[in-house]
Amino acid sequence: MRTYDAIFIGAGQAGPFLAARMASMGRKVALIEQKYLGGTCVNAGCMPTKALVASAKTAEVARRSSEYGIKLAGEIMVDMTAVAARARKVTEDARNNLTSWFEGLASMDVIFGQARFVAPKTVSVDGEHYTAPQIFINVGARPHIPDVPGLSDIPYLTSTSIIALEELPEHLVVLGGSYIGLEFAQMYRRFGARVTVIERGAQLASREDEDISEAIADILISDGIDVLRNHELVSVGRAGGGIVVRTDQGEVKGSHVLVALGRQPNTDDLGLEFAGIEADRHGYITVDDRLSTNVEGIWALGDCNGRGAFTHTSYNDFEIVAANLLDGGDRKLSDRILGYGLYIDPPLGRVGMTERQAREAGHKIKVSTRPMSRVGRAVEKSETKGFMKLVADYETDRILGAAILGTGGDEAIHSILDAINLQATTETLRWAVPIHPTVSELVPTLIGDLKPVG
Known catalytic residues are 436
In DSSP notation, 309-371 reads -SHHHHHHHHHHHHHHHHS-----GGGPPPEEEE-SSS-EEEEE--HHHHHHTT--EEEEEEE
Q: C-alpha 40: how far from its chain's center? A: 10
| H or E element at residue 62 | helix 46-63
Are the C-beta atoms of 219 and 212 separated by less than 8 Å? no
Question: How many CB atoms are closer than 10 A to CB 433?
Answer: 7
Are the C-beta atoms of 343 and 406 separated by less than 8 Å? no
Nearest residue to 178 (alpha-carbon basis) of 155, 149, 144: 144
Question: What would you measure as the largest C-alpha separation in the chain, in angstroms?
Answer: 69
In b/e form, how buried is each residue of 381-409, taking b as 16+ CB within 10 angstroms? bebbbbbbbbbbbeeebbbbbbbbbbbbb
Angle between helices 179-191 and 46-63 (to 10 degrees): 40
Angle between helices 80-103 and 46-63 (to 10 degrees): 150
CA distance linking residue 148 with residue 146, whole number of Å: 6
CA distance linking residue 232 with residue 249, whole number of Å: 8
Are the C-beta atoms of 140 and 304 separated by less than 8 Å? yes
In b/e form, how buried is each residue of 85-100, taking b as 16+ CB within 10 angstroms? eebeebbeebbeebee
| Beta bridge partners of residue 251, listed in sequence order | 246
